[in-house]
Structure 1
Amino acid sequence: MRPLRVARAVYAAGVDLDAYVAEHGGEWRRLEELSRRRRVTAAEADELVALYQRAATHLSLVRSRSPDPALVARLSRLVLTARNAITGAPSFSWQTIGRFFTTTFPLAVYRAWPWWCGVATAFSLFTFGMMAYIAANPEVANYFVSDREIATLVNSEFEGYYSEFQPQNSTLRVWTNNALLTGMVLAAGVLLVPVVYILFLNALNTGLVGGVMIAYGRSEVFFGMIIPHGLLELTAVFIGAGVGLRIGWSWIAPGPYRTRGRALADTAREGMLVALGLVVVLLVSGLLEGFLTPAPIPMLLKDLVGALVWGAFLTYIVILGRRASQKGESTALPEDQTEAALPTA
């Protein structure tokens, strides 16, 4: 019987972990030594591959039978180091970053456009309907807020909110808050209902505030302060929610050629790519809210800048996303950047 099979059989029978480590410690040290060398001979390369395969098998056995996290961590680092020594460690590539922003991200967003456009339509209809109703019936607002709170909101709180902090601090604050909200609706999409609930609360709040501001003659302040950053910010939230709902729907209706698990995995992977891209989009909207919204310039000019940035983003998604779709591009990572399965002896 081969030594490894003997070790496996003995370890499976319940030999002490210390004895197992003592038996194979020499191999692990030798593997560590070879992995650190910048150059190896042909014979040493063969030895490195063989020891790597054996260490991967040892790691699999220890993970399944040992509760010792220190040993698992040690072998995991050893196997990873050896794998990088054999295959070459992945290196930073501007080409990969460029492909993400010119192909992968816009394609993933473009593919999900029916979902996030549907979310945007439903949100907008409910929000503007709420605004119109409260503007026509101001007394309804008293079911949610008091007269004193309404007076504070209309006279100072709404406009003062955007100049309460220094621009850089405001940018960081709204960036993290919006990223959290977008991440919540995207991740909760697998359950569908939480996304609808979160969007409903945000639409209700926006409609209530907007309706109150309109009812008390402050509509120009409301829209003037919301539009510069809100168009891009809300679009990012809509995309996150739409992609999240698409993920949830994938396990309900996976299609004729995919299992539910495969469909969920594929759409969730695209969802993670969208989440990465939206981090940048939300940073831009945060910069607009932190620096442009409170700027002492005419509101019309601020609204124009915000609308131009929003239009540029939508144009970017439509043009590059459609182009990538027509070319048959994929959102999958290149083969040389995907995780390889660990070989065993």
Structure 2
Amino acid sequence: MDLDVFVAAHRDEWDRLDHLLRRGRRLSGYEADELVALYQLTATHLSLVQSSAPDPILTTRLTQLVARARATVTGTRRATWRDAALFLTAGFPAAVYRSRHWWLPTALLSTLLAAVIGWWIAVHPEVQAAIAAPEELRRMTRPGGEYETYYSSHPAASFAAQVWTNNAQAAAMCLVLGAFLCLPVIWILFTNVLNLGIGIGLMSSAGRLDTFLGLILPHGLLELTAVFVAAGTGLRLGWTLIDPGPYSRRTALARQGRAALGMAIGLALVLFVSGVIEGFVTPSGLPTWARIAIGVAAEAAFLVYVYLLGGRAARAGETGDVEAGDRSAELPVAA
């Protein structure tokens, strides 16, 4: 596309839209219709410029025009309880469901890697010795040791709040840092898997793997699922930079980024539930089977929520993105 010819052909339309916007509410019916038509036309022009001839000065001008026109045409809109309900029953579960091809393999590979690390540590005493001194290892793994007392070392409410904050931050980092070509996400995920594998290996070497799993599974099933969803979504966001699909790289990244931002809010709620379980159920005096049953029930409820509500919403066209009126106009890139 010849940018100079394009600007010359459409400058008058942009100037006219700018003039109408400056007049504000003092428009006749005909002028209001003209403003809407010019807004739609300019939004199309912006998409064409972004995909074919991304000039920063022209893009900035058209972006400002489109934003001002959209605010005038649609007006400002406040979030309502209906928006929150739609997000929880459609937007969030649909976004998780649509990204399942990323987070399910992430979960399976991470779990397998944790098991392999745990086995490797359990059968190699020299690796255990490299982790900590023998006395320190005994202090961690013995009955009433650090692995067990960790969950009851603080008041339940404050411990749950601390766990929730830490996990929510880790999930948010996975979602946000995915834009950096996936590398930070892989590191965060590996760190979590390594810590899990070390716990499995050390407790298994002490013959207390059943105790460790009895402490981890009640809250860990839901907690790790949320982390895997965040990591998978972050990896998907990073891959969008490499393969944006039918849209421009900027548009594709914006679409995935907005959905990821919504998922950060939803996953914070999921991690709140796992934090409550970790603070109140894991260190409780309930039998091991009862604590694990609570964790399994919470995990099953989340998966049903994602696959039932999310699958239904996704098939109806929900993506987890903001409403069309609240995002920039976009056009596919010609192949």
TM-score band, normalised by the shorter chain? 0.7 to 0.9
2:211 matched to which residue of 1?
A: 221
1:287 matched to which residue of 2?
A: 276
**Residue 112 (str. 1) matches residue 102 (str. 2):** no
1:261 matched to which residue of 2?
A: 250
**Residue 300 (str. 1) matches residue 300 (str. 2):** no
Paired with 1:331 and 1:219, the residues of 2 have a C-alpha distance of: 40
State how many pairs are aligned: 267
SS in 1 for 2:178: helix
SS in 1 for 2:321: coil
1:180 matched to which residue of 2?
A: 169
Q: Which amino acid aligns with 1:197?
A: W
Q: 1:232 to 1:198 in 2, by over 3 A?
A: same
1:150 matched to which residue of 2?
A: 137
**So what's the TM-score if we normalise by structure 2?**
0.73
Deviation of 1:335 after TM superposition, in Å, equals 4.9
Paired with 2:291 and 2:116, the residues of 1 have a C-alpha distance of: 25
Deviation of 1:141 after TM superposition, in Å, equals 1.1
1:322 matched to which residue of 2?
A: 311
**Residue 161 (str. 1) matches residue 150 (str. 2):** yes
Determine if contact 1:90/1:337 at 8 Å carries over to the other structure. Answer: no
Deviation of 1:196 after TM superposition, in Å, equals 1.3
Paired with 1:208 and 1:241, the residues of 2 have a C-alpha distance of: 20
1:245-256 matches, cutoff 5 A: 245-255=235-245
Paired with 2:322 and 2:133, the residues of 1 have a C-alpha distance of: 54
2:119 matched to which residue of 1?
A: 132
Determine if contact 1:231/1:306 at 8 Å carries over to the other structure. Answer: yes
Paired with 1:296 and 1:89, the residues of 2 have a C-alpha distance of: 53
Q: Which amino acid aligns with 2:195?
A: N
Deviation of 1:338 after TM superposition, in Å, equals 5.6
1:230 matched to which residue of 2?
A: 220
Paired with 1:94 and 1:323, the residues of 2 have a C-alpha distance of: 21
Deviation of 1:237 after TM superposition, in Å, equals 0.5
Deviation of 1:201 after TM superposition, in Å, equals 1.9
User: Which structure 2 residue ranges, 5 or more long, are not aligned?
Assistant: 1-23, 28-56, 58-67, 330-335
User: Quick one: percent identity of the two aligned structures?
Assistant: 40
- Deviations, residues 202-250 of structure 1 (Å, cap 9, x unaligned): 2112111111101111112100000000000001000100000000000
Determine if contact 2:177/2:185 at 8 Å carries over to the other structure. Answer: yes
1:8 matched to which residue of 2?
A: none
Paired with 2:323 and 2:314, the residues of 1 have a C-alpha distance of: 17
Paired with 2:189 and 2:321, the residues of 1 have a C-alpha distance of: 30
**Residue 275 (str. 1) matches residue 249 (str. 2):** no
Out of 188, 192, 198, the residue aligned to residue 188 of structure 2 is: 198
Q: 1:334 to 1:258 in 2, by over 3 A?
A: closer
Deviation of 1:133 after TM superposition, in Å, equals 2.1
Say what the alpha-carbon RMSD is for the aligned residues.
2.7
Determine if contact 1:130/1:204 at 8 Å carries over to the other structure. Answer: yes
Deviation of 1:339 after TM superposition, in Å, equals 8.6
Deviation of 1:330 after TM superposition, in Å, equals 3.8
- Deviations, residues 283-329 of structure 1 (Å, cap 9, x unaligned): 00000000010111101100011011001101110111211122223
Q: Which amino acid aligns with 2:98?
A: R
